[in-house]
Structure 1
Amino acid sequence: MIGNTISSRLAALVREAALRAGASAPQLFSALELGADQLGDDLVRVPTGSAWRLWELIYAAAGPTGGLCAAATATRGSLSVWDYLFSSGPTLAESLRSVVELRAVVADPLGGGQVLESGGLLVVRDTATVEPGPILGLVEEFTLAVMLQRAREATGHPLVPVRVAFRHRAPRNHRHLVEAFGTNRICFEAPHSELTFLDAAALPTGGDPNLGRIHRGYAELLLASARPVPSPIGRIREVLLEAMAGGELELDQVAARLAISPRTLQRRLQELGTSWRAEVDMVRHEHASDLLRGTDLPMYAIAARLGYTDPRSLRRAFRRRAGQSPDEFRRWAATGSISG
């Protein structure tokens, strides 16, 4: 299930915006706890709450203009295939229907949207239900600014909405929004956030219909194959296992892999109700169990892989945790019996 998650591409974009706004590396790690490899994976989904914490960092650093600052970093392609859905149909209206239908490729699937046509008006509406507040304001402004930017790129037309609506309250000064959207007709505390265009529905996008079908198919495949990221402690354990395989199971080495300081890592583990030593012991034990179950490696080789100085250290640690020796565990795993 990918409800209450967003794509790693969107998370990476918001993280970059927070970094540019002045957030520190420890703050970013505390909010997101993802490696660069995960942020580049189209199949990885990030908890929406983590992204919300990034937006809080942006608001703290940039204030009400933070949403538009983030939108300025959203170059075409940064949101993967979703960016190309804006030219997936022959006209802007048809393309926008694909954009909204497949919005979950980047956004939280629990949200929603609509594309409406009435006379000469074309309305793109966000129907997500979130309590209005300053952080929502940043998210709404970011979302609509990116939508406008992509619509302009797809049509090659300098589109200017005839109306822009937000659910959040009006800021003290919204000149930055007038400049960004090109119109004075900006409403606040509306039922939905939305962009309204006049005589724009039939604008051609110049998109190839066959390529559009491929993009839509890929977007659907991403949604079907997406997976949430591990829990915060799960991510740390993943890195511990990687470090162990590389023979770099020291606190400063693991912290470097997580792009934080050793002190920050220890503090984070304490917040999660555990400790560095407890997690090292846990990961060693789980990996030892896997090797004992799935291989015929001798004890000295398993000990070396786990970073123990000798097989005796492995045996002591394993018995302390499992209540039996590694040899007994291996026999039990093979036969279902400790005897023999």
Structure 2
Amino acid sequence: MNEDTMPVRSAALVWATAVQVGVSPAQLAVASGLDPATFDDFLLRVPTESVWRIWELVETVAGVGSVPGLLAAEQADRVGLHVWDYLFTSRTSLADSLRTAMELRAVVTDPAVGWEVVEDGGLLTIRCTVAVEPEAVLASVEVFVLSVMLRRVRAASRQHLVPIRVRFTQPPGPGRARLVDEFGTGNIDFRAPHSEITFLDIGALPTGADPRLAAVLSHYAELNLAAARPAPSWNDKLRAAMRQSMVAGELDLNNVARRLAVSARTLQRRLSEEGTTWRAEVAATRHQHAVDLLRDTELPVQSVAAKVGYQDARALRRAFQRWTGDTPDAFRRGMASGM
């Protein structure tokens, strides 16, 4: 469920990190296709690919020697990760709380990402197995994830825990000294099979959890996942605005731009960036609206033509044949016969 998507809150956190290192909102919007106006709705989920595009910009703009993953972890401390933060104290022991947080990881990440808790004697390892990010952004993502894990473990235990080992799959970079400061250990390995952070004798540490509250928190996280829905893309909003303008009988560039709260020039530029044109989008909108009217109403073809912006039925028939290879009448007969 919800694979290949991430919660909008997590996307907003990476977006804020990108702005912090100097990426412009315009660059972010074009690269990711996300609209920051949706970031306040925590039930929305966005394509994971969009978030990776933001990470790529962060890597590109941040510059040599910076550690963007740590900036993102600090951002997570400031704004929080919603209910997931509280799952680290959702069970009486730290190990059990960690397992709950990993099981419900989809409230902060793509559920296809593998996070697990591995215990071996007194060793407890939080392991991350990621198979979806482009290689170019893995370094920042790995640092971000392990730093967040460390910060949440310390908060849950109310102790300044220090890992005995930290591992990354990436080669060492110029920010190693920053990593030693962050994790409190020089035992940091690179080019490892998995990114992971290992502690000694912390699994049984108490979290002070209230069992009744723990059940409520876990149930709330599950409800959030069940109620999650995809965030509308810019293209979705464009088509909705064009459809509304068509229904209102005012399908032109200025009216659609006004509905999208942008200038006509900005709309034209965005269309170009998306690899399309106003003319192509008008044709697509007319096509879909004509199909809907022919399928769902008994309006005469002449009336359908007028509603989608054509002067007469002949113009609609020519356009419809270009779109589908069929006439409006033949299309309607086919729908009626169940073809």
TM-score by length of 2: 0.79
Aligned residue for 2:178?
176
Change (3 A) 1:294 1:39: farther
Aligned residue for 2:90?
88
Change (3 A) 1:294 1:129: closer
Aligned residue for 2:116?
114
Write the distance in 2 (CA, Å) between the matches of 1:93 and 1:248. 59
Indicate the SS of the match to 1:113: strand
Which range is displaced more, 42-51 or 123-132? Answer: 123-132
Q: Map residues 222-233 of structure 1 onto 2, 5 A cutoff.
A: 222-229=224-231, 233=235
Number of residue pairs matched by the alignment: 329
Q: Map residues 120-139 of structure 1 onto 2, 5 A cutoff.
A: 120-129=122-131, 133-139=135-141
Aligned residue for 1:7?
7
- Which one of the candidate residues 264, 270, 292 is aligned to 1:265? 270
Aligned residue for 1:322?
320
Structure 2 residue runs of 5 or longer lacking an equivalent are none
Structure 1 residue runs of 5 or longer lacking an equivalent are none
TM-score by length of 1: 0.78
Shift of 1:284: 4.4
Aligned residue for 2:212?
210
Indicate the SS of the match to 1:87: coil
The amino acid that maps onto 2:270 is L
- Which one of the candidate residues 100, 103, 124 is aligned to 2:102? 100
Measured on the aligned residues, the alpha-carbon RMSD in Å equals 3.9
The amino acid that maps onto 1:268 is E
Indicate the SS of the match to 1:143: helix
Task: Work out whether 1:253 is the aligned partner of 2:258.
Answer: yes
Write the distance in 2 (CA, Å) between the matches of 1:86 and 1:67. 21
Change (3 A) 1:248 1:93: farther
Write the distance in 2 (CA, Å) between the matches of 1:128 and 1:185. 22
Write the distance in 1 (CA, Å) between the matches of 2:171 and 2:222. 35
Aligned residue for 1:69?
71
Aligned residue for 2:56?
56
Change (3 A) 1:131 1:55: closer
Task: Work out whether 1:39 is the aligned partner of 2:39.
Answer: yes
Shift of 1:76: 6.5
Shift of 1:302: 9.5
Change (3 A) 1:288 1:80: farther
Shift of 1:58: 0.2
The amino acid that maps onto 2:113 is G
Aligned residue for 2:142?
140
Q: Map residues 295-334 of structure 1 onto 2, 5 A cutoff.
A: 313=311, 318-322=316-320
Aligned residue for 1:190?
192
Aligned residue for 1:219?
221
Identity, % of aligned positions? 45
Residue deviations 1:42-100 (CA, integer Å, cap 9, x gap): 44332222211111100111134111111111137643322221121122111100111
The amino acid that maps onto 1:250 is L
Change (3 A) 1:76 1:18: closer
Is the Cα contact below 8 Å between 1:269 and 1:276 reproduced in 2? no
The amino acid that maps onto 1:186 is I
